[in-house]
Amino acid sequence: MDVQTLTYVIVGITFALYIGIAIKSRAGSTKEFYVAGGGVPPVLNGMATAADWMSAASFISLAGIVSFVGYDGSVYLMGWTGGYVLLALLMVPYLRKFGKFTVPDFIGDRYYSQGARTVAVICAIFICFTYIAGQMRGVGVVFSRFLEVEVDTGVYIGMCVVFFYAVLGGMKGITYTQVAQYCVMIFAFMVPAIFLSVMMTGHIFPQLGFGAELLDASGNASGVYLLDKLDGLSAELGFAQYTEGSKSMIDVFFICGALMFGTAGLPHVIVRFFTVPTVKASRSSAGWTLLFIAIMYTTIPALAAFSRVNMIESVNGPDGKGIPHEQAPSWVNSWEKTGLIKWTDKNNDGLMQYSKGDANEMKIDRDIIVLATPEMANLPAWVIALIAAGGLAAALSTSAGLLLVISTSISHDLLKKNLMPNISDKKELIFARLAAAAGIVMAGYFGINPPGFVAAVVAIAFGLAASSLFPAITMGIFSTRMNKEGAIAGMLAGLGFTTVYIIYFKFVNPAGNIPDNWLFGISPEGIGMLGMIINFVVAALVCKVTAATPQSVVDMVESIRFPKGAGEAQDH
Amino acid sequence: MSFEDKGKAKEYWDENIKLVLTLLSVWAFVSFGCGILFVPFLNEITFMGFKLGFWFAQQGAMYVFLILIAVYVKKANTLDKKYGVDE
């Protein structure tokens, strides 16, 4: 079978599997729809959360980013895993004990205020929409590259599949499909990485091959370490040293912080931990989640380094002078067709040359690093098909998780808790499904007509989560005195500062988005951490001069601080 | 109230805070410290074929994060039992 038929077969099988699982685990009540009935075992919830968290961007683009920026890419690796330590230690057990369905639920009740709830709902919906637009696009792109259908058709197919299992199954349906999607995704990612590691360094574990000596053509240790080779190549070609990077230390510090605190404040991640049966289970579930994520995230930088060496050598040749285009490896030709690799023979010598600066003749898209790995490692066609299935699994699982938060925010936080308090459980469930359906249609629209601002607003999503939700939740747990006025003032200050800063540099004055103009040298990507500090300070000051928290709220805070009596997630 | 008295509840919470702060200082030390601030210094040291600072930033910090959560899960469960507030 050729690659394309195989891809159709493998993708078809995985889709059938997801839909089959969704039919088996249909949701019958709002509780099943919102939190899967609160009965998901911690290991399975860990897998589902990992799939929820690792998006199309993690799967397809992250290794490419690390590969092109070297050390600077560490902010994503540490930021997107370190946030789970904060989640596990500061939030998850307490929110599970609190035992309701959503993040705005907690903020609304803890700060005895509809205003605080509304701010939280708006943040949650905004964050999820920013994210989901990119996911649907990812589905379309994978379809168009591997199955040669139009991007739009790919988006429609993706919409139908997500529609089916998110609307039907709610949290219960998506949790069990996400478990399957995690397995597909991790298998698809690890197989080529392991082969490449064995081929280049003789190590089965890419994490060890990353620091090992390269093998020469006859398979003996060459005495040259992979990373030394990479630093040498980078210096030769005019790039920053791979292991040192080029961003300033303060910027790296703040970006890493914004991503960590942002991760811990993302509603679609937090809500996952409402689905396990006990507080104890929620703690271990956070550990499982990080383990499942770390399997992929510790492989990513290794794959990035292998592919970078491989790519530079296949283009520039072992002597670094460039190799003739007609002798280029087949993956160069096959990805030239898609436009992800472009060669312009500037000096008309017929040789391909890759470097930084004017002599560079190659335009290489970052996504190539993952997409072309199976071909670089000369792996069979079914591995290429697996990459397609893995990319789709990553995009679909994340979209479904986000959709669920959007629908919950609308049917539960907005309708039930605000506008229509007397609505019955059955009606609420209908509204939840309608909201999920509407969410899919909007996500599909953005997938087909991608707004140019998607990449720019992802920084806002993390900035918002770090500067508004994270401080509000942690203060609500660790301080019994923090009151409504303090929390709202803090959220608005953090939110306002962060949003204005990002909008100014991304939209109002994008030309001025250079280190010299940044406040303390912090880029818009990292400003959320400063916004978070502002939130904490403003909240503490305002709290000092306003009325004390009512005793009933103090009692509530004290009762969420220990596990006993958690019971299942409940509404009232 | 699940605790014997208010004093026990405070003791439990103080012990919990101490545990969390200890683990978070390790968290900050490996990520912001070894992975960012001390990188220029640590990169002088070679570790299993890596410059040490680079290894912390792209591998080590993530392993430490995993260990931290595992320790937290174990210690927090023991603490609950000690005060009789486990499930």
CATH of the domain at A555: 1.20.1730.10
Least CA distance to B86: which residue of chain A?
A564
Query: Does A345 touch chain B if contact means CB atoms closer than 8 Å?
Result: no
Two structure tokens written together for A20: 């089959």
Per-window interface: A 506-565 vs B, CB < 8 A: 558, 561-565
Q: Do B73 and A287 touch (CB under 8 A)?
A: yes
Q: How far apart are the first and last CA of chain B?
A: 14
Least CA distance to A224: which residue of chain B?
B49
Tally Cβ neighbours within 10 Å of residue A565.
Answer: 12
Least CA distance to A557: which residue of chain B?
B13
Residue A502, in any domain of the structure? yes
d(CA A415, CA A428): 8
Burial (Cβ within 10 Å: 0-12, 13-18, ≥19) of residue B81: exposed
Two structure tokens written together for A3: 């690659």
d(CA A446, CA A264): 26
Per-window interface: A 300-339 vs B, CB < 8 A: 301
Q: Which of A53, A82, A1, A80 shows the shortest CA–CA distance to A400?
A: A53
Tally Cβ neighbours within 10 Å of residue A254.
Answer: 24
Which chain A residues touch B12 with a CB distance below 8 Å? 561-562
SS (H, E, C) A196-215: HHHHHHCCCCHHHHCCCEEE
Q: Do B54 and A279 touch (CB under 8 A)?
A: no
φ and ψ of A504, to 5 deg: -60, -50
Closest Cβ–Cβ partner in A89, A286, A564 for B85: A564
Per-window interface: A 151-190 vs B, CB < 8 A: none
Q: What is the pLDDT of residue A571?
A: 47
Could you say which residues of chain A have pLDDT below 70? 451-457, 566-572
d(CA A76, CA A92): 22
Q: What is the pLDDT of residue A572?
A: 43
Q: Do B73 and A256 touch (CB under 8 A)?
A: no
Closest Cβ–Cβ partner in B24, B65, B87 for A566: B87
Q: What is the pLDDT of residue A287?
A: 95
Give residue limits of the domains in chain B: 6-81
Least CA distance to B18: which residue of chain A?
A89
Q: Which of A159, A155, A138, A146 shows the shortest CA–CA distance to A60?
A: A138
Residue A335, in any domain of the structure? no
φ and ψ of A223, to 5 deg: 85, -5
Q: Do B57 and A81 touch (CB under 8 A)?
A: no
Closest Cβ–Cβ partner in A252, A297, A563 for B36: A252
Which chain A residues touch B20 with a CB distance below 8 Å? 89-90
Q: Which residues contact A436 (CB under 8 A, 6 or more apart)?
A: A163, A166, A167, A170, A403, A404, A406, A407
In tens, the pLDDT along B43-84 reads 999 888 899 999 999 999 999 999 999 999 999 999 999 998
φ and ψ of A351, to 5 deg: -105, 145
Residue A336, in any domain of the structure? no
Q: Which residues contact B27 (CB under 8 A, 6 or more apart)?
A: A82, A85, A86, B64, B65, B68
Residue A571, in any domain of the structure? no
SS3 A51: helix
Q: Do B37 and A566 touch (CB under 8 A)?
A: no
Least CA distance to B79: which residue of chain A?
A562
CB A22 within 8 A of CB A164: yes
CB A447 within 8 A of CB A133: yes
SS (H, E, C) B14-77: HHHHHHHHHHHHHHHHHHHHHHHHCHHHHCCCEECCEEHHHHHHHHHHHHHHHHHHHHHHHHHH
CB pairs under 8 A between A and B: 140
Q: Do B3 and A286 touch (CB under 8 A)?
A: no
Tally Cβ neighbours within 10 Å of residue A320.
Answer: 14
Which chain A residues touch B2 with a CB distance below 8 Å? 562, 564-565
Which chain A residues touch B84 with a CB distance below 8 Å? 564
Q: Do B37 and A225 touch (CB under 8 A)?
A: no
SS3 A242: coil
According to DSSP, residue A45 is labeled H
d(CA A317, CA A310): 10
Per-window interface: A 85-144 vs B, CB < 8 A: 85-86, 88-90, 93
CB A484 within 8 A of CB A472: no
| Count of domains forming chain A | 1
Query: Does A249 touch chain B if contact means CB atoms closer than 8 Å?
Result: yes
Residue A212, in any domain of the structure? yes
Please report the sign of the dihedral spanned by the C-alpha atoms of residue A465, residue A468, residue A471, residue A475: negative
Please report the sign of the dihedral spanned by the C-alpha atoms of residue A14, residue A15, residue A18, residue A20: negative
CB A495 within 8 A of CB A487: no
CA-based nearest distance B38→chain A, Å:
10
Query: What is the H or E stretch that residue A68 is in?
Result: helix A62-69
Q: Which residues contact A358 (CB under 8 A, 6 or more apart)?
A: none
Least CA distance to A559: which residue of chain B?
B1
Residue whose pair of structure tokens reads 């290894």 in the numeric block: B55
Query: Does A250 touch chain B if contact means CB atoms closer than 8 Å?
Result: no
How far lies A203's CA from each of A50, A213, A270, A327, in Å? Answer: 26, 10, 37, 29
CA-based nearest distance B78→chain A, Å:
11
H helices of A465-550, in order, are 470-478, 484-503, 527-545
| DSSP β-ladder status, A341-343 and A351-352 | unpaired
Range of A247's domain? 3-311+377-445+453-559
Query: Does A212 touch chain B if contact means CB atoms closer than 8 Å?
Result: yes
Two structure tokens written together for A226: 């992979």
The residue type found at B81 is K
CB A474 within 8 A of CB A87: no
Q: Do B36 and A244 touch (CB under 8 A)?
A: no
Q: Do B57 and A253 touch (CB under 8 A)?
A: no
Which chain A residues touch B16 with a CB distance below 8 Å? 561
Query: Does A222 touch chain B if contact means CB atoms closer than 8 Å?
Result: no
Which chain B residues touch A566 with a CB distance below 8 Å? 87
Query: Does A256 touch chain B if contact means CB atoms closer than 8 Å?
Result: yes
Which chain B residues touch A77 with a CB distance below 8 Å? 57-58, 61-62
Please report the sign of the dihedral spanned by the C-alpha atoms of residue A198, residue A199, residue A201, residue A207: negative
d(CA A507, CA A459): 13
Q: What angle do CA A226, A231, A236 make, to 5 degrees?
A: 125
φ and ψ of A562, to 5 deg: -135, 150
Determine which of B73, B75, B81, B86 to mutate to test the interface with A (most A C-beta atoms within 10 Å): B73
Chain Cα centroid distance, residue A259: 10
